[in-house]
């Protein structure tokens, strides 16, 4: 039999000596014991019953030496009441019974915990809204950690940026950074840590932070940042429990991410792999609202290929499709990661430029124009085709303050170029000014 720990509370030294002598398969600890020593039972002598509350909580069985209480309640579950003399007559038998009781109760708690987790996972799996899932997971983490505030950021493949999907932290701000409110050093520590998380300890009255990354192999899909107030008395073992929970539910988060990713594919144009009108309508509205909320700027570039019909007539529609594919590739290579290239229809494209004014948008348009005209597009065989485009630029809030007017302003600027010079860049007129 493996030696097992038993806590002993008694003011009589001879009780501890007697148990050590007569029960060699048990290791007796003087005092209430500690959870980390994993006691299987606690013996409380009749002269120490007033200290019974100091004994580690359930599921440790408690052997109370003395007369049983007149009435029992739920608090007495897991207690063995026995006279002192009867216990000392055969302590091994009583300790074995208490040990089995503890094992059964622990197994029951583990099974109950597993059933609870299984039910919890079933609830999470049924969720298809990222924000609802983020709230459930974040609040479960806070319950484990016994801390007040958390923020979850998840990578959104539609917008190719990290979005705040849940936060109850009054100090959390959307700053437009790569990971808003997440220090770079803390992120690197979390990614390199063997524990799976990073802990910035509170110091000198300054709050600390916990950071839990959510990863798919080597790809960072999100983080959960938890504030650790300096007065919280936080115990780091809770972080290990929270990380164990996150490892279990992370699969659900990853599955939802994959679902969103597959939906994102439905927002791509089949021919050019740029975004389609369906994406444009959702994303452009969201970026406009973001610019309005944070008093930022936003620009769009409309460009229409000049004389693509001549390519179709000379080389066929397959050649025209190849030109569209190559032009889209060159446009996407000429813009930033946060800029979105949309095939607006036919041979017309739109580039959405967050946090970009009309002068910066003009520089982007010049870069795209140069990319398109710098060399001919190779077609099948020895054939190639040269193509140009007409550009129109409009910026929020300079040229318009809503999506429809901004689109109209950029389109009008592009059409003016297309009907005159072609292969140039037009800027929308500000309201109240003539062209």
What's the per-residue H, E or C state across 170-239?
Answer: CCCCCCCCCCCCCCHHHHHHHHHCCCCCEEECCECCECEEEEEEEEECCEEEEEEEEEECCCCCCCCHHH
Tokens at residue 368, please?
């795209």
Q: Which CATH architecture has domain 130-265?
A: 2-Layer Sandwich (3.30)
| Percent helix, strand and coil across the chain, each to the nearest 5 | 45, 25, 30
Q: How confident is the model at residue 54, as a pLDDT?
A: 66
Q: How confident is the model at residue 120, as a pLDDT?
A: 80
Other residues' Cβ atoms within 10 Å of the Cβ of residue 405:
15
Q: pTM (2 decimals)?
A: 0.51
Q: Which CATH architecture has domain 277-427?
A: 2-Layer Sandwich (3.30)
Give the C-alpha separation, 311 to 305, whole Å.
11
Of 39, 40, 27, the residue nearest 99 (C-alpha): 40
Residue 48 burial by Cβ neighbours in a 10 Å radius (0-12, 13-18, 19+): buried
Which CATH number describes the domain made up of 4-108? Answer: 3.40.50.2300
* Parallel, antiparallel or unpaired: strands 198-200 and 208-216: antiparallel
Residue 423 burial by Cβ neighbours in a 10 Å radius (0-12, 13-18, 19+): middle
Residues of the chain with CATH 3.40.50.2300: 4-108
Q: How confident is the model at residue 75, as a pLDDT?
A: 47
pLDDT block averages, 10 residues each, the chain of length 435: 79 91 90 64 84 65 75 60 90 89 74 72 84 92 92 79 88 76 90 92 88 86 92 86 90 83 78 90 91 94 94 89 93 89 94 95 97 91 89 96 96 96 94 61
Question: Within its chain, how far is the Cα of 282 from the centroid?
Answer: 22
Q: How confident is the model at residue 76, as a pLDDT?
A: 56
Residue 374 burial by Cβ neighbours in a 10 Å radius (0-12, 13-18, 19+): exposed
Of 292, 407, 423, 289, the residue nearest 351 (C-alpha): 407
Q: How confident is the model at residue 263, as a pLDDT?
A: 72
Residues of the chain with CATH 3.30.70.270: 277-427
Q: How confident is the model at residue 80, as a pLDDT?
A: 87
Q: How confident is the model at residue 36, as a pLDDT?
A: 45
Residues of the chain with CATH 3.30.450.40: 130-265
Q: Which residues contact 188 (CB under 8 A, 6 or more apart)?
A: none
Q: How confident is the model at residue 5, as a pLDDT?
A: 87
Tokens at residue 83, please?
């006279």
Other residues' Cβ atoms within 10 Å of the Cβ of residue 418:
21
Packed helices 13-22 and 91-125: angle between N→C axes, nearest 10 degrees: 90
């Amino acid at each position: 039999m493996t030696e097992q720990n038993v806590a002993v509370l008694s003011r009589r030294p001879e009780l501890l000596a007697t148990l050590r002598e007569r029960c060699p398969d048990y290791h007796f600890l003087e005092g209430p014991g500690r959870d980390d020593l994993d006691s299987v039972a606690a013996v409380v002598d009749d002269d120490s019953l007033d200290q019974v509350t100091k004994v580690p909580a359930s599921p440790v069985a408690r052997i109370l030496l003395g007369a049983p209480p007149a009435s029992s309640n739920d608090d007495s579950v897991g207690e063995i009441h026995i006279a002192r003399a009867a216990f000392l007559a055969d302590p091994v038998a009583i300790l074995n019974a208490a040990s089995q009781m503890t094992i059964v109760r622990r197994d029951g708690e583990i099974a109950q915990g597993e059933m609870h987790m299984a039910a919890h996972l079933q609830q999470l799996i049924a969720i298809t809204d990222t924000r609802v899932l983020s709230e459930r997971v974040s609040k479960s983490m806070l319950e484990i950690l016994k801390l007040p505030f958390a923020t979850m950021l998840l990578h959104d493949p539609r917008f190719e940026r990290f979005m705040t999907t849940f936060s109850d932290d009054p100090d959390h701000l959307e700053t437009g950074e790569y990971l808003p409110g997440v220090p770079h050093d803390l992120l690197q520590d979390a990614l390199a840590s063997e524990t799976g998380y990073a802990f910035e300890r509170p110091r000198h009255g300054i709050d600390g932070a916990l950071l839990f990354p959510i990863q798919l192999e080597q790809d960072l899909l999100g983080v959960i940042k938890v504030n650790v107030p300096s007065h919280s008395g936080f115990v780091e073992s809770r972080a290990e429990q929270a990380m164990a929970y996150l490892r279990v539910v992370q699969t659900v988060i990853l599955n939802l991410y994959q679902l969103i990713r597959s939906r994102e594919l439905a927002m791509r144009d089949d021919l050019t792999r740029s975004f389609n009108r369906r994406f444009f309508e959702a994303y452009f509205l969201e970026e406009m609202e973001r610019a309005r909320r944070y008093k930022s700027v936003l620009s769009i570039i409309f460009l229409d290929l000049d004389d693509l019909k001549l390519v179709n007539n000379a080389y066929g529609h397959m050649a025209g499709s190849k030109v569209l594919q190559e032009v889209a590739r060159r446009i996407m290579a000429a813009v930033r990661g946060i800029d979105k290239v949309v095939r607006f229809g036919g041979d017309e494209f739109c580039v959405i430029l967050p946090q970009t004014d009309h002068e910066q948008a003009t520089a982007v348009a010049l870069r795209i124009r140069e990319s398109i005209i710098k060399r001919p597009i190779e077609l099948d065989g020895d054939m190639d085709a040269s193509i140009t485009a007409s550009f129109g630029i409009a910026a929020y809030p300079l040229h318009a303050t809503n999506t429809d007017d901004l689109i109209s302003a950029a389109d009008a600027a592009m059409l003016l170029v297309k009907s005159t010079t072609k292969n140039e860049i037009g800027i929308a007129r500000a309201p109240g000014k003539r062209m």
